[in-house]
Structure 1
Amino acid sequence: MTDEPGPTPLGPGSLTWRYFGDTRMLLVGPRAAVLQNMLPALGQGVLDHSVFFSETFARLKRSAGPILDTVYGGERSAETGRKVRDYHRDIKGTMPDGSRYHALDPETYYWAHATFLDHMLYGIETFIRPLDEAEKRRIYDESKTWFRMYGVSDRAMPEDWEAFQAYWKRMLDEEIVAHRTARYGVGYVTKGLPAPPKVPARLWRAVSPPLNAVARFITVGGLHPRMRELLDLPWSAADERRYRRFAAAVRAGNRLWPLLPEAVRYLPQARRARTATRAAAARDGQDPDRMRAS
């Protein structure tokens, strides 16, 4: 690992920059987070070191910001990426079989990154639009730049899109398991969402049933079938038809999407990056509104 300057940051010309911070990605649910924890070494690291079990949603929120900043941080992207890497330096320990794990093992670290790539590809194609093969290759190439922002060895990173597809299939078929951490991450699907702090129990009992139904639908619907199989999450043919209708309805509404405020369409990190890009364009005498078409 090195602290030399990272690669040229992704910018508004990249598909990753355009879509990763799009709020429609939230409709995918916790696909990436759950899938990460299905790799035994990563799930064990979270089990041993994280506050995931005591502060689940707070932990996810804290993790998401720096990851987004490796995409939208501009010249600070590599610096942020190295900070994200360094958060994991002491995440190491022993697996139940006696073998050792470390969060900065290149294979383990790359797996976490790969789940974000999968999350974005799935989100775009499910809720926004189909991608052709050239666009998928382009997004994969961008993901390589993104990963190098972390300053971690890229020896585990597939060379190209075709190699990544083979890697992804092997990981789903052979490497992921129903780790305890992953099971906990989807436990609310069967047990219900935990009551927010300071919400009276009686009120929560009244309002939680529909929220639980939506949470289950979004969560289980957004999982890969292999994940549902390993985690024993029922999903019927009728469920699948309802999910496809839901996705189609979202896509149909995308014609109106550009008319909504940016505060609705983009996560804060993406909004800040878009605002900064427009300001820079205006200073350079370019069209400050050019971001609105993307």
Structure 2
Amino acid sequence: MAPPIVRGTAAWKYFGDFRDALLAGQVLVLQVAHPVVAAGVRDHSDYTSDPWTRLMRTGASLSIYVYGGVSGARVEAARLRSVHQAFVGSLPDGRRYSALDPSAYAWVHATLVMAPVDAQRFFGRPLSTSELDEYYAQLCGIGRILGVRERDLPPDWAAFSRYYDEMVAGFAGNPTIDQLFETIETVRKPVDWLPDRWWLPLRRAQARGQLFLIRATLPPALRDRLGLPWSARDQRRFDRFARVVRAVSTPLPPGLRTAHMRWTGRLNVWFRAHPKAYARLVGGNGPGATPPRVPPDGPARS
């Protein structure tokens, strides 16, 4: 049984650390490197036309898993699986796919498991062996709530690391990754009232920064297969940046580093209990919408 996620435990301290956001682009690339995820994003995602809303909803959903309590995580998991049941289509080779394909579903979860560990490795202090054991057990518990099959969850961190490396070794470029890079460079402004003369330089700066962080934090072998350049000078720049982030953020208490995600999780649990408020303030079928019925012990798993 997974240890409960309470104040001071590994998942509580690291999953919502604000430094995790520095790996957002890396996580997206790794997710859409999976051919089924790439096809699903290509056919069903609206992130290219409305990336800011998609980003906010994704952040809200993630916050519930760890900081919204077990009941909140179960309801959000059921909502996600209900939404994704309709996401079906064809792969480039003609085979049919489903967004709930067990391998793809487990891989998306795996990228979210690894990101906070990578964030600490790059920008903080690497997790100790005992922290990794506790963190992984807790995230396996989240995975089971989300509906990841038991056999798709490696039994311990060492096995998970091997699985993760083996998956990455099988990935290469695809059109969805190319579209992701293009979207980063051409993303529309988040609010219409922002003047173009302000937004255009901001967009160029965020694109440079985001693409640099993607190149810096992707597994090097995959970075090479994607044809992304990386030089010794780039590595020195990244090392300097990482040192600054580490110096500024590491002295902060974990409660402060995760406050935004914890409050977001609580807010979205409240939205779930007040769907009219969610519909008025946010809109759409999100945490505040009427959830599907959840079995007493969570979503059904195959």
Residue of structure 2 equivalent to 1:99: 95
- Residue 266 of structure 1: which of 250, 258, 268 is its match? 258
Does the C-alpha gap of structure 1 residues 103 and 89 become closer, same or farther in structure 2, counting only changes over 3 Å? same
Q: Distance in 2 between matches of 1:133 and 1:8?
A: 16
Does the C-alpha gap of structure 1 residues 226 and 54 become closer, same or farther in structure 2, counting only changes over 3 Å? farther
1:169 aligns with 2:165: yes
- Cα RMSD (Å) of the superposition? 2.7
More RCO (CA 8 Å, sep 6+): 2
Q: Distance in 2 between matches of 1:147 and 1:90?
A: 21
1:50 aligns with 2:51: no
Once the 2 structures are TM-superposed, how far is the Cα of residue 202 of structure 1 from its aligned partner?
A: 3.3
1:112 counterpart letter in structure 2: V
- Contact 2:36/2:97, CA 8 A, preserved across alignment: yes
Does the C-alpha gap of structure 1 residues 9 and 104 become closer, same or farther in structure 2, counting only changes over 3 Å? farther
Residue of structure 2 equivalent to 1:283: none
Does the C-alpha gap of structure 1 residues 15 and 274 become closer, same or farther in structure 2, counting only changes over 3 Å? farther
- Residue 113 of structure 1: which of 109, 112, 119 is its match? 109
- Contact 2:51/2:187, CA 8 A, preserved across alignment: no
Once the 2 structures are TM-superposed, how far is the Cα of residue 210 of structure 1 from its aligned partner?
A: 3.6
Once the 2 structures are TM-superposed, how far is the Cα of residue 212 of structure 1 from its aligned partner?
A: 3.6
TM-score, scaled to structure 1: 0.80
Residue of structure 1 equivalent to 2:145: 149
- Residue 18 of structure 1: which of 13, 17, 21 is its match? 13
SS of the equivalent of 1:257 reads: coil
Once the 2 structures are TM-superposed, how far is the Cα of residue 273 of structure 1 from its aligned partner?
A: 6.4
2:172 counterpart letter in structure 1: V
SS of the equivalent of 1:29 reads: helix
- Contact 2:65/2:142, CA 8 A, preserved across alignment: yes
1:178 aligns with 2:170: no
Q: Distance in 1 between matches of 2:265 and 2:56?
A: 19
Once the 2 structures are TM-superposed, how far is the Cα of residue 148 of structure 1 from its aligned partner?
A: 0.8
| Alignment of structure 1 residues 85-234 onto 2, 5 Å | 85-174=81-170, 176-187=171-182, 191=185, 193-196=187-190, 197-234=192-229
Once the 2 structures are TM-superposed, how far is the Cα of residue 255 of structure 1 from its aligned partner?
A: 5.1
- Which deviates the most, 250-259 or 84-93? 250-259
SS of the equivalent of 1:101 reads: strand
Q: Distance in 1 between matches of 2:70 and 2:200?
A: 48
Once the 2 structures are TM-superposed, how far is the Cα of residue 246 of structure 1 from its aligned partner?
A: 1.2
Give the gaps of 5 or more residues in structure 2: 268-302
TM-score, scaled to structure 2: 0.78
Residue of structure 1 equivalent to 2:281: none
- Contact 1:67/1:81, CA 8 A, preserved across alignment: no
